A and B are shown apart, each in its own frame.
Chain A
Amino acid sequence: MPNIEDYEAMTKISLSEDEKTIVSGYMNMLLDSFKKLEDTDVSGVVPLISVLDVKSPMRDDVAIKTISREELLSNAPEQHDAYFQVPRTVD
């Protein structure tokens, strides 16, 4: 069972001690609500991916260029030599 620090790490959001208490309260309420689902027998029920009862349409494997690189990069806050540029991020 993840604790509040795990959620902080997952969402990359830091919380103060006060905030942790408040958020923990909400999280527990939520989790308690979901626990009700555990009482339901779902054996044999296929997980619902969509409320629409349809098959996925598929494309043929044809390569098409739809937009130019200039258009693609036009919304980028920062770019450099046709690359998107972001703060240094090393895994």
Chain B
Amino acid sequence: MKYETIMGLEVHVELATKSKLFCACSTEFGSDVNENVCPVCAGMPGTSPMVNRKAIELAITAGLLTNSEISPRITFDKKNYFYPDLPAGYQLTQLFAPICKNGWVEIETDAGKKKINLVQIHLEEDAGKLIHDDWMDTTLIDFNRASVPLIEIVTRPDFRSAEEVVAFLEKLRSLLSFADVSDCKMQEGSMRCDINLSVREKGSDKLGTRTEIKNMNSLKAIAAAISYESQRHIDALETGEEVLVQETRRWDDSIGATFSMRGKEDATDYRYCPDPDIMPVFIDDEWIDAVRSNLPETAQDKFIRLTQKLGLPEYDSEIITRSKNLSNIFDETLQYYNNPKEVANWIIVELLSIAKGDNKGEDDVRIDCQKFAKLIELVDGRTINRNVGKKILSLILEEGIDPVEYVEKNKLGMINDTSLISSTIQEVLSENPKALEEYKAGSKKVHGFFVGQIMRKLGGKANPQIINKLLTEALKEI
């Protein structure tokens, strides 16, 4: 490979606060249009922003998780621009005194471990949503998202491949979601990233022309966009047909290409200046220590606990600790029924396959963990068999039934009565002389056929181990 691609990221993460960064409006996703807007976030004259303490705390948390220095004194600055997605005419952000500096995150790819360095993490407000109406030739604005708190994580140009970028974003998502800093849902826009990319000949110490791909919100699209954009740069360098310019580009997922959006602004275009309405916020060591002492278990800590203390296989632990939601379900269910191996099995095999069938991701599965635990206990204690258990799991998810009551009411308790099972076996064998002949002729497959027939006669509720044992004995005697 003659060329190398050099990338840096700007990752925007919406903070999991209940209210906005500078006012008390709700941050709830999916509210009705313009329901969560007040005079402050509507940019009315005479209103004054007031900082949300929780947002500062979550940003400190993000800083601690990324080995950053936390600034003792932070301020907020106005970034002015002409675009109607923020009604004040500027975005409140941090240019001069960002909350975190000089952090790093370790990633692991097939090429090994690598440290990605962070320039800074700063707090800022999100912008409103614009809908461009071609028919009416107007733009419609919903300010619900305006002023929702964000952190922007700015990395150094340390990335050399799409794998590294994806590994970094996954690591960040794991760190931040396990600490409840953000739900990091890329599909809902609570985590999105801009990629700064340039290409140079390997061995050169001069950077090539840089382009920025804006607002990427899926890992798959990010990998595809990086591959497309670096090839475009290489082609331009090789053929000279296209001249690269420093600009902002947009990725079109349906076409699989990037397109020019606009020339890159210089920082002076934004006329940054401190907001005189917001006084400096002071962050003392006491506050940082309090946040540090409340840091929850990271995915990595949890993986170690699951494998070493609870004795789960690495495969199971990896799946459970990949998602904050799954790992919460695991921990909570374990409180009601303390059998880690079975609980993990039911989550990975049954719960996830139902979720997949409903087109739900790992983060979107919801279940009443107490009922889930009861169900696992019923199967584990051989009160019901596994197949009945699977059906009940669907009913818990769909209708919220109580598994113990349901099993009693519908008499689904497993049949362990050996004399009943024995007589059913005899019935089935005498009703199927042809299959019996096949068995005698050496066909072992017929065993399964007999089990199915016996189970059917017993309404699917019989204990499969007892059927197997008694059937094997009965067949031996023939």
B34 touches A72 (CB 8 A): yes
- CB neighbours (8 Å) of B261 from chain A are 91
Taking a contact as CB atoms under 8 Å apart, the answer to whether A63 and B32 are in contact is no
Is there an interface contact between A57 and B50, defined as CB atoms closer than 8 Å? yes
Interface assignment of B53: CB less than 8 Å from any CB of chain A: yes
**Least distance between A24 CB and chain B CB atoms (Å):** 17
| Contact, CB under 8 Å: B271 / A10 | yes
Given A47-B96, A89-B83, A91-B262, A55-B24 contact (CB < 8 Å)? no
A-facing residues in B125-171 (Cβ within 8 Å): 130-133, 136-143
User: Looking at chain A's contact residues, is the secondary structure mostly helix, strand, loop, or mixed?
Assistant: loop
Q: Is the CB of B51 within 8 A of A88?
A: no
In the bound assembly, the distance between CA atoms of A88 and B137 in angstroms comes to 6
From 47 to 64 in chain A, residues with beta carbon under 8 angstroms from any chain B beta carbon are: 47, 49-50, 52, 54-64
Tell me the minimal C-beta distance from A72 to chain B in angstroms. 5
Contact of A2 among B23, B268, B282 (CB under 8 A): B268
- Picked from A2, A65, A73, the residue with its CB within 8 Å of the CB of B26 is A65
Q: Does B68 contact A (CB under 8 A)?
A: no
Pair A52/B52 contact, Cβ less than 8 Å: no
A69 contacts B by Cβ under 8 Å:
yes
Using known A-B contacts A90-B132, A91-B262, determine if residue A84 contacts B143 with beta carbons closer than 8 Å.
yes
With A52-B279, A89-B83 known as contacts, the answer to whether A80 contacts B140 (CB < 8 A) is yes
Cα distance A9–B37 in the bound complex, in angstroms: 31
Contact between B37 and A72 (Cβ–Cβ < 8 Å)?
Answer: yes
Bound-state Cα–Cα, A1 to B17, Å: 42
**Residues of chain B with a CB closer than 8 A to A69's CB:** 32-35, 37
**B140 nearest in chain A by CB position:** A83
B84 to chain A, nearest CB (A): 5
Query: Contacting B32 at CB < 8 Å: which of A55, A58, A80, A82?
Result: A82
Chain A residues within 8 Å of B138, by CB: 78, 80, 85-88
User: How far is it, in angstroms, between the C-alpha of A52 and the C-alpha of B276 when the chains are bound?
Assistant: 10
Question: Is A81 positioned at the interface, with any CB of B under 8 Å from its CB?
Answer: yes
Q: In the complex where A10-B269, A83-B33 touch, is A59 in contact with B53 (Cβ < 8 A)?
A: yes
Q: Per a CB cutoff under 8 Å, which of B34, B262, B280 touches A83?
A: B34
Q: Which of B17, B39, B142, B274 contacts A61 (CB 8 A)?
A: B17
- Chain B: number of interface residues, binned into ranges: 35 or more
Taking CB atoms, residues of chain B closer than 8 Å to A49 are: 75, 274, 276, 279-280
Q: Count residues on chain A whose CB falls below 8 Å from chain B CBs.
A: 39
List of A residues within 8 angstroms of B32 by Cβ: 69, 82
Query: Bound complex: CA of A86 vs CA of B261, how far in Å?
Result: 21
| A66 x B280 contact (CB < 8 A) | no
Report the Cα distance A67→B142, complex, angstroms.
16
Is A36 an interface position by the 8 A CB rule? no
> Is A35 interfacial (CB-CB < 8 Å)?
no
Check B420 for interface membership: any CB of A closer than 8 A: no
Task: Name the residue of chain B whose CB is nearest to the CB of A68.
Answer: B35
CA distance A49 to B75 in the complex (A): 8
Interface mask (A1-37 → B, CB under 8 Å = 1, otherwise 0): 0100010011010000000000000000000000000
Contacts A63-B19, A64-B24: A58 and B281 contacting too (C-beta < 8 A)?
A: yes
Any A CB within 8 A of the CB of B210: no
Chain A residues lying within 8 Å of B9, measured Cβ to Cβ, are none
Q: Please, which residue of chain A has its CB at the minimum distance from the CB of B18? A: A63
Q: List 28 A-B contacts (CB under 8 A).
A: A49-B276, A52-B279, A55-B282, A56-B279, A59-B24, A61-B17, A61-B19, A62-B19, A63-B27, A64-B24, A65-B26, A65-B38, A66-B23, A66-B25, A66-B39, A69-B33, A72-B34, A80-B138, A82-B33, A84-B140, A84-B141, A85-B138, A85-B139, A86-B84, A86-B138, A86-B139, A89-B83, A91-B261
> Given A69-B34, A81-B33, list of 10 further CB < 8 A pairs?
A2-B268, A47-B96, A57-B279, A60-B53, A62-B24, A66-B39, A72-B38, A80-B138, A82-B34, A85-B138
B interface list, Cβ under 8 A from A: 17-19, 23-28, 32-39, 42, 50-56, 75, 82-84, 87, 96, 130-133, 136-143, 261-262, 268-269, 271, 274, 276, 278-282
> Which 4 A-B residue pairs are closest in the complex by CB-CB distance?
A61-B54, A83-B140, A56-B279, A63-B26
